[in-house]
A and B are shown apart, each in its own frame.
Chain A
């Protein structure tokens, strides 16, 4: 069963606005990762945050992790049309595997 669950399922915004996606998970983790998937393509790794970290930045991406609430958020600032994609959180599922959520579909309109 899915460990991570993203929210919202779909998000539609205008270029220049910020996009926030949330991920909740069920059991303790060592790290949490976010991936992006353009339509018809494979997933691409965006950022990893470890369980002892609370916030991490990478370019226009900001990820937070609250282990007490078992939740993470991905913020994309100043969004662009090219950010249109599906975004997935993934948690370590044991035996070097990753368990993915169902994803958030982000649409950024020009």
Chain B
């Protein structure tokens, strides 16, 4: 079946503009994660959705970052008033079930460049 997809694959924007990044998880996967991958920094957890529960937003770096997940499927990560330090690859992953030992399936990522 189809894997996790993300769009756009690349996004170049000007400082101060808002951007929206999209993630389509694997059908039936109840858990969805967003990460940020910066050069030499590994993966930084941003936010976690599980079913209809309130999301875990503890990793969001500032109030400029927000995310929603509609209908328990597609998720959108929004960054308002982008800054140059927001430049990174944003990765989405989905997992079947609730357990923290389940494999995460990653999308190819969106490379964001803020000029």
> Do A and B interact with each other, yes or no?
no
**B interface, CB within 8 angstroms of A:** none
